[in-house]
Amino acid sequence: MVRYLLLIAPSSNRVYAGEALRLAERELAAFGETVLRDAGLRDVSREEVAGVEYLGFTAEPPLTDDQLGFVSNLSGAYVLFGWEGPESLRPVRLTPTAYYDDDLLTILKYPGKTNEQFTRLLLNLTVAASQRSAELRGGERPEPSSRLVVCDPLCGRGTTLNQALRYGYDAVGIEADNAHVDAYAAFLRTWLRRKRLKHRVEIHPVRHERQRVARRLTASVAPSKAAHDAGADQRVTVVHADTLRAREFLKGRSCDVIVTDAPYGVVHGSRAAGRSARDRRPQELLDAALPGWVALLRPGGALGLSFNTHLASREEIAELLTRHDLSVVDSPGYQGFDHWVDQGITRDLLVATMPSAPRPAGHE
Ligand SMILES: C[S@@+](CC[C@H](N)C(=O)[O-])C[C@H]1O[C@@H](n2cnc3c(N)ncnc32)[C@H](O)[C@@H]1O
């Protein structure tokens, strides 16, 4: 039996930092139900040692390297110790997955950006609930035969996409605001050039009967020259279009997880084409968009959604997801993530899974 103490990463956002320990506790509980199911975690509690607060937990037997790999990728994980008495903390090596430097996520700052640590939390919970949960393990892991594909169908300036890249996944986004798409493309180009990484970033119009109907940003990036030479480039695609048209531009069953932060309505309104009701209430946008999003998911995939509880209750969103043939994960580990963000914004999240058996033809 080992008692572990996890030091939580300091967040640059003071509001989020105030909630980080509680959210880390919840995230560990969700991992305890999924990727750390066999770890026998117990006695999860906050603990103070020499004036510093830690997240404490006990594992019986001690965590294996594989299990430590998952702990390493907890969104709040910073430093881990084994507790050997009040005066003695033994450092335990963490091996978080980081194909790229963390400034890929932190440099861009703009109104409406989703907190990076929260984005990683939502991605973690969603991958953990999917059938590709093994891809969440930190440390050396064999290159999978098919790379995990993360889709953010309301991607803004790409916080989810960048976290997906950092985890070694491919990423697909949809965004209606041209300023966001242009800013993301410019950022990606500059960042990749500055880091001297092999890359290609292009934006092309998508035409239908000679009319431009959308724009498509495609990027290929490799974390090292060796990875590029081995043909292991990662791909990012962003479609500049209304997310309601997702299926016109993206192939069905092409994504393993969908991870998205719904518009908050208050400060940064949603931009669903010309529907003023949709601009205020994410429910309408989600109800209209979910058939297309669900069609993008592969069997065994999962969808993670965060939303402003001032605009939509957890029950309403859960009912919406269920109506669109998804199974809401409502076990204790997937509850209690609601937290204050700003005046008028209290954020909560829900994760739902796709049935693993293919659905009957014509169901799309
Ligand atoms: C809460 S923000 C997401 C921010 C993003 N996670 C980030 O960190 O940049 C929601 C995004 O949805 C976009 N959006 C709203 N309605 C849309 C629609 N119908 N189609 C595509 N994008 C839409 C908004 O432009 C906004 O960028």
Q: What is the pLDDT of residues 167-197, one digit of tens each?
A: 999 999 999 999 999 999 999 999 999 999 9
Mean pLDDT for the chain overall: 92
Cα of 111 from ligand 1 centre, angstroms: 12
Asked if pLDDT for residue 274 goes beyond 70, the answer is no
Report the residue among 109, 110, 154, 172 best suited for mutation to probe ligand 1: largest number of ligand atoms under 8 A from its CB: 154
Asked if pLDDT for residue 94 goes beyond 50, the answer is yes
Cα of 270 from ligand 1 centre, angstroms: 7
- For the residues 335-347, what does the mean pLDDT come to? 93
| pLDDT at residue 11, rounded to an integer | 76
Q: Is the CB of 272 under 6 A from ligand 1?
A: yes
Cα of 188 from ligand 1 centre, angstroms: 18
In this structure, the residue with its CA closest to atom 1 of ligand 1 is 263
Complete domains list, the chain, with CATH? 2-92 (3.30.70), 103-353 (3.40.50.150)
Q: What is the pLDDT of residues 218-236, one digit of tens each?
A: 999 999 999 999 999 999 9
Cα of 175 from ligand 1 centre, angstroms: 6
Q: What is the pLDDT of residues 242-253, one digit of tens each?
A: 999 999 999 999
In the chain, pLDDT over 70 holds for what percent of residues? 93
User: What SS3 string covers the chain?
Assistant: CEEEEEEECCCCCHHHHHHHHHHHHHHHHHHHHCCCHHHCEEEEEEEEECCEEEEEEEECCCCCHHHHHHHHCCCCEEEEEEECCCCCEEEECCCCCCCCCCHHHHCCCCCCCCCHHHHHHHHHHHHHHCCCHHHHCCCCCCCCCCCCEEEECCCCCCHHHHHHHHCCCEEEEEECCHHHHHHHHHHHHHHHHHCCCCEEEEEEEEEECCEEEEEEEEEEECCCHHHHHCCCCEEEEEEECCHHHHHHHCCCCCEEEEEEECCCCCCCCCCCCCCHHHHHCHHHHHHHHHHHHHHHEEEEEEEEEEEECCCCCHHHHHHHHHHCCCEECCCHHHCCCCEEEECCEEEEEEEEECCCCCCCCCCC
Q: Is the CB of 67 under 6 A from ligand 1?
A: no
Cα of 350 from ligand 1 centre, angstroms: 18
Q: Is the CB of 263 under 6 A from ligand 1?
A: yes
- For the residues 144-151, what does the mean pLDDT come to? 92
Q: Is the CB of 138 under 6 A from ligand 1?
A: no
In the chain, pLDDT over 90 holds for what percent of residues? 85
pLDDT band for 278, please (50, 70, 90 cuts).
very low
In this structure, the residue with its CA closest to atom 10 of ligand 1 is 263
| pLDDT at residue 265, rounded to an integer | 80
Asked if pLDDT for residue 214 goes beyond 90, the answer is yes
Q: Is the CB of 295 under 6 A from ligand 1?
A: no
Q: Is the CB of 154 under 6 A from ligand 1?
A: yes
| pLDDT at residue 81, rounded to an integer | 98
- For the residues 37-63, what does the mean pLDDT come to? 95
